[in-house]
A = this chain, B = another copy of it.
Amino acid sequence: MASHRHKHWTADPTTVLRVGKGFRLDRTDPEATPGYHRRKRDSVDDLVAGSDELSDLQERLYASSRGESDAAGSVLLVLQAMDTAGKGGIIRHVVGSVDPQGVQLAAFKKPTTEELAHDFLWRIRARVPEPGMIGVFDRSHYEDVLIGKVRSLAPDDEIERRYGAIVDFEKELTDAGTRIVKVMLHISPREQRDRLMERLDRPDKHWKYNPGDVDERKLWPEYMRAYQAVFDRTSTSNAPWYVVPANHKWYARLAVQSLLLSALLEIDPHWPAASFDVATERERLSAT
């Protein structure tokens, strides 16, 4: 199938946004638009074209899981970010363009008492996508090494243990046929202030504002260090991290869409063969 995914990109987002050896978050510009140099208004057309391709691939992925051959693959998009960075917009405008029947969305909030009584991966395991599905984690097991570290919710040696547990867990998933796309949406502190201020300025946005966001915001440098540690410890060849500059929402959406398209094209799902005899079924149906 012809792919439109890189039509207007000057570099493959899976390369240019990937967290490799020596990656430094503090040298990554949230204003940049790596690999894409068209204007915002062009990006809208490109997003629509990408949505059509994503829809088509999602349907094939779903269909492939209904076949009788080997287990179909799945995709897991992990979204992490500081508040207001645009996770919701990605879910709405990128994920929301495909059939909701093919999407399993999991939003991980502050753990409940029951969840805290289990290992931190317990609630995560329960929500991994089934074969044929696109899973989306709105926050994830990474909270347990981000806010967990910044707020000292767990001792240092437990945080250390978790990095390894995460790498093992994700290896298990990718070995079983899940493509993991881990995305950090990267905004600047100033952009966050503007976005929070907008929520305060608009009564129809007040419900999105939480005074606690300002407290978290004061810990920005600590969070950036925790993200850097996450990248150093958990960006693996089978489940790499992508840092997506997100001061421009339109760029972040286009980039995440492209990363999802790449994951699906790697799976390359096919329509499953009929498990019945087509001619026989035509006759049976015609007789009714």
User: Which positions in A face B, CB cutoff 8 Å?
Assistant: 63, 66-67, 88, 91-92, 95-96, 99-101, 103, 105, 107, 138, 189, 193, 196-197, 200, 203-204, 206-209, 211, 214, 217-218, 271-274, 276, 278, 281-282, 284-286, 288
A127 smallest CB distance to B (angstroms): 14
A288 engages B204 (CB within 8 Å): no
B-side contacts of A285, CB under 8 Å: 193, 196-197, 200, 214, 217
Copies of the chain in the assembly: 2
Given contacts A193-B288, A196-B285, contact A206 B99 (CB under 8 A): no
Do most interface residues of chain A lie in helix, strand or loop, or is the interface mixed?
Answer: helix
Chain B neighbourhood of A218, CB < 8 A: 288
Q: Are A271 and B101 in contact (CB under 8 A)?
A: no
**Shortest Cβ gap from A272 to chain B (Å):** 5
B residues within 8 A CB of A200?
Answer: 278, 281-282, 285
Determine the chain B residues whose CB is within 8 A of the CB of A271 once the complex forms: 203-204, 206-207
Question: Once the chains bind, are A214 and B99 in contact (CB under 8 Å)?
Answer: no
The verdict on A281 contacting B105 (CB below 8 Å), with A100-B92, A204-B271 known, is: no
Partner of A214, one of B207, B214, B288: B288
- Distance in Å from the Cβ of A21 to the closest Cβ of chain B? 34
